[in-house]
Amino acid sequence: MSRIRADDYDEKKQLILKRAADLFASKGFANATMIDVAQACGASKSRLYHYFSSKEEVLFAIVMGHVRAVFEELAGITRLSLPAVERFSAFVAAFVERGVASRSEHLVLVNDVHFLPEDRRQQVREHESLLVGLLISLLEEINPELMRHGRVRTPYAMLLFGMVIWTFTWYEKSGAITPDELAARISRLFLYGFEGGEHPS
């Protein structure tokens, strides 16, 4: 007879993922054990295995959940009835806000995805490619002449993603620049360049 799931199964599963993401981000996936994850969640190791069969399963759930959530949010922005430049700014702002709100998940994706088996890494890469495609489409609207050259389309998109992704290895929202201002400055820098951008206030 199969075990009946508790009404709060999904809620507890998400709590495990959040606590595990914080643990992996601070300690490193390789240095953390399932016992560490269980302790971080205030649960027993055997209880943890009711939700995930291995540490790698926890890692995969963290990174895939993060990438899917980012894609769904950014895809919605690209479909808004706004000029392309405004959608671009909203795209960057949402990406920055997601990085601030999910910093641990973001760091785990950047630092630990290589610990997954190849087939799982491929699933993550496929979803990341969908994100790149969203941005390429936006950039094509903003500057179709530049983006008509196939060899530069992906590099331009990856330049922006790299700028934002690596920002969250050092950025702290409690610093001098708020997430909103950071996003606005990234957008201006990317669209208009350093010389053509607005001077700091």
pLDDT digits (tens, 9 = 90+) for 22-79: 999 999 999 999 999 999 988 888 888 889 999 999 999 999 999 999 999 999 999 9
Largest separation between any pair of C-alpha atoms in the chain: 68
Its domain, for residue 88, covers: 54-196
As a whole number of angstroms, the distance between CA 35 and CA 44 comes to: 8
For residue 53, how far is the Cα from the chain centroid? 24
Looking at residue 105, what is its pLDDT? Answer: 94
Q: For the chain, what is the domain count?
A: 1
Q: Is residue 40 part of a domain?
A: no
Q: Is residue 142 part of a domain?
A: yes
Cβ–Cβ < 8 Å for 184, 93: yes
Cβ–Cβ < 8 Å for 85, 190: no
Q: Is residue 15 part of a domain?
A: no
Looking at residue 174, what is its pLDDT? Answer: 84
pTM: predicted TM-score of the whole model, two decimal places: 0.87
Q: Is residue 65 part of a domain?
A: yes
Q: Is residue 105 part of a domain?
A: yes
Which residue ranges in the chain fall short of pLDDT 50? 1-2, 199-201
CA dist list (Å): 80 to 46, 75, 160, 187: 46, 9, 20, 18
Q: Is residue 129 part of a domain?
A: yes
In three-state secondary structure terms, 175 is: coil
Looking at residue 2, what is its pLDDT? Answer: 47
In three-state secondary structure terms, 3 is: coil
Q: Is residue 24 part of a domain?
A: no
Looking at residue 1, what is its pLDDT? Answer: 40
**CATH number reported for the structural domain that contains residue 154 in this entry:** 1.10.357.10
Q: Is residue 59 part of a domain?
A: yes
Identify the CA nearest to 165 among candidates 75, 114, 119, 98.
98
The pair phi, psi for residue 52, each rounded to 5°, is: -140, 135
As a whole number of angstroms, the distance between CA 200 and CA 129 comes to: 34
Identify the CA nearest to 186 among candidates 71, 169, 166.
166
